Amino acid sequence: MNNSLKKLQAEREAMLPPELEDRISQHVGTLSLFSNVIEVFVPNALQVVIRLVGGEDLPCLKKETLRKSRANMDWRTPPAASAPSPI
């Protein structure tokens, strides 16, 4: 026994073109590839634009400086006191 809503849904699904799922899948694949390209090339493009304008490199995009600053930290030694204690 089908109710009227299920009949209406079946009629609407029958009206959709059969290639619609393929087109949506192609669009999703294209957007996924485009997001990968943006993730790889946009930071480098920003660096190039900044260098062309005459600015310095962005510190947030320098991977080697992030590695160096993390390499100096050691959890086994306490941090050095920056100011003498008031006692």
15 is a domain residue: no
- Establish if 59 belongs to a structural domain: yes
Residue that has been written with the tokens 């310095």 in this structure: 56
Structure tokens at 68: 């160096």
Task: Tell whether 87 is covered by a domain.
Answer: no
**CA distances in angstroms from 14 to 5, 8, 27, 60, 73, listed in the order given:** 14, 10, 22, 53, 63
Predicted model pTM: 0.41
Q: How many residues does the chain have?
A: 87
Number of domains making up the chain:
1
Output the six-digit token pair for 70: 């993390």
Question: Could you list the residue range(s) of the whole structural domain that residue 45 is in?
Answer: 20-63
At residue 12, the 3 state secondary structure works out as helix
pLDDT higher than threshold 60 for residue 45: yes
Q: So what's the pLDDT on residue 10?
A: 86
| Residue 54 domain-assigned (yes or no) | yes
In a domain, 35, yes or no: yes
The residue-averaged pLDDT of 13-41 equals 88
